[in-house]
Structures are given as structure tokens and as C-alpha cells.
Amino acid sequence: MIAIFPEIVHLAITRDFEALSVAVRRYFAVGKPAQLKLDIEALVHDFGIPHRREAIDCPALIAGEDDRGRFEFYIVVSHSLNSLEARFAMAHLLGHFLIDIQPLLARGEFERSGLKEEVSPLVRYLSRLGGSEREMAADHFAASLILPQAMVLRAFEKLKEPKLVADLFGVSSALVTRRLEDLERLTKPAAPTSSLEENLASPTVNYKKVVEPYQSEKKPQTTRQKSEAPRGMEMIRDLARKIDKSMDR
């Protein structure tokens, strides 16, 4: 069962990726929100998305459907990715779920679809290949989840070298360097962002036009017990009420 919190929905819709990554750590890195070497697999599992490594024809994918009122998703990461690529890919796909799929759930528009990554998200991020706005947004979230702004800046202030910071966080010096370069740009005045109401009303990516969910002989395994879930539309209305209440505070 997917865990959805109004604060996380709000931050994803308003595209505040730095604050979003902190909130995700706080809610789902149970007992360890300030963990340096973040266990992405455990975090995604606690979020409610089963995942596995498998031989597939792409670097990674996320797929899901509305199963009689239960929104079920899963992530598959290719065996061909090294451990850091796999961590970044999983964080990237969680970003797609939060930024692209949650608004569809909130508007009652999600049914069944999925998304395949054409290249390793980490390779694209480090090589500055760019890509669509959607891919760059998910990259931004993944980088901020693995290397939170306050934590990485504080570490660099003390250690002075990307290599030492990388060892601290269990990543590569190339990833730390790219993240620090991005944070320099983030300190500049940002353009005004749209309001929550404008973002809720605006169209987002149509996942119906993306690939069909990956079919595998194995269904993702999870130790979570399925709990009784509200029907799809009831869940949407409940989520909308929670968002409204959170905005009134």
C-alpha cells in the first residue's frame, strides 16, 4: 500500500525538490533521517513500493495500476547498473512517482501505466546530457535525496575536498562535484513559482502515452501485509481533503 502524506504531495506539486527530499527522509528513513549513506532500498520499501534487480531491456523502470481501489506500483532496476547507479536510479524513479504520478492520483486520472528509463539516470546526470524537464526534475530530486543540501554543504565546508565528502556519503566524487555545482546555482534568486492552485489545474505528463507496465513472470515480493484500502475515488477525495487542511495551517 502506497503511503501518501499531504506535506509530501504539496511539496511535489509546488516543485520544491530540496524540501521534498528532506520530508521524504523524515517520513520514510525511519529513525535515520540524517543518515549519511542513505539506504535507498529500505526507504523505497517503507514508502510502499516493492522493488527488485532483474535482467531487463532498459536501465530501470517503474510501473503501476489501480487494482480495484488499491494503487500498486513496483520498481525494477537492471543488473547491469553498478551499486551507485542503482541507488540513484531508484531515487530517480521515486522522484517520478512523487512529481509526475501523485498529481494524477490526486486528480483521479491514473489507471495503469509505467515509465522506462532509456539511459542510466546517474550517467545522464553526471554527463550533463540534459533531457526532458521531467527527467531533470527527477534527477534533481534524486541528487537532493542522496546528498541533502544542508548536509553536503556542511560536510564540504569542513572537509574541503569532494573526494572526502564522497567517502562520507558513500557516493562518487563526481556526484558530489556535480551536486555542489548545482547548489551554487540554487543560491541565486529563483524565478517566481506557480501557486499550488495553478499547479493542480495545469496538465502534467500523460503516463497513458508512456510504455505499458513491464510484465514479468515474478511479481515483486514484499514483506508488507496488504491492509484494507479505500476505493480509488474515496482515496482521492480523502487526499484532497487532507491537502486542503494542510494549506489552511
**How would DSSP label each residue in 29-41?**
STT-TT-SS--HH
Each residue of 79-132: pLDDT tens digit?
A: 999 999 999 999 999 999 898 887 777 666 666 677 889 899 999 999 887 778
Tell me the pairing of strands 70-78 and 51-54.
parallel
Kindly indicate the confidence band of residue 68, based on its pLDDT and cuts at 50, 70 and 90.
low
Each residue of 181-222: pLDDT tens digit?
A: 999 866 654 444 444 333 333 333 333 334 343 344 444 444
Identify whether the C-beta of residue 18 lies closer than 8 Å to the C-beta of residue 149.
yes
Q: What's the confidence (pLDDT) of residue 3? A: 64
Q: What's the confidence (pLDDT) of residue 6? A: 81
Each residue of 143-187: pLDDT tens digit?
A: 999 999 999 999 999 998 999 999 999 999 999 999 999 998 666
Which has more pLDDT, 4 or 167?
167
Q: Name the CA radius of gyration of the chain, rounded.
A: 18
Q: What's the confidence (pLDDT) of residue 67? A: 66
**Cα 42 to chain centroid, rounded:** 14
Interior angle at CA 49, CA 123 and CA 109, nearest 5 = 95
Identify whether the C-beta of residue 28 lies closer than 8 Å to the C-beta of residue 35.
no
Q: What's the confidence (pLDDT) of residue 108? A: 66
Identify whether the C-beta of residue 120 lies closer than 8 Å to the C-beta of residue 175.
no
Question: Nearest Cα to 122, choosing from 74, 72, 70, 171?
Answer: 171
The pTM of the full predicted model, rounded to 2 decimals, is 0.72
